[in-house]
Amino acid sequence: KQEVTQIPAALSVPEGENLVLNCSFTDSAIYNLQWFRQDPGKGLTSLLLIQSSQREQTSGRLNASLDKSSGRSTLYIAASQPGDSATYLCAELQNTGKLIFGQGTTLQVKP
């Protein structure tokens, strides 16, 4: 059974700090990896999708990397803002479209 793990479960940082969220996965033949944001009481918003042939993707202040050999992905958030406070989920995206999620990291950015 493929598994995805996220550490830490929660993180609190002051505004302006750069930070890294970690994700590890057991599937060495991972198809794609996707990062999502979830706000309280809301659905999931896709942030970045990294295909297995890629090593990283960037969108604004966000950068996600994928290292299949070590089974790890990171989400880098530059110059964090209070509006970045949310739960961040990484997920293995299989070729059927099925997503296998980690437990999430809840981020609080303090003004």
CB of 6 to another protein, least distance (A): 8
Determine if 43 is a binding residue for another protein (CB under 8 A).
yes
Determine if 19 is a binding residue for another protein (CB under 8 A).
no
CB of 12 to another protein, least distance (A): 16
Cα gap 32→95, rounded to integer Å? 8
What are the two backbone dihedrals, phi and then psi, of residue 84, each rounded to the nearest 5 degrees? -80, -10
| Closest to 47 (Cα-Cα) out of 33, 68, 26 | 33
Determine if 102 is a binding residue for another protein (CB under 8 A).
yes
Q: By C-beta, is 66 or 93 nearer to another protein?
A: 93
Distance set, CA 78 to CA 47, 75, 109 (Å) = 14, 10, 12
Which listed residue (46, 54, 70, 81) binds another protein by CB under 8 A? 46
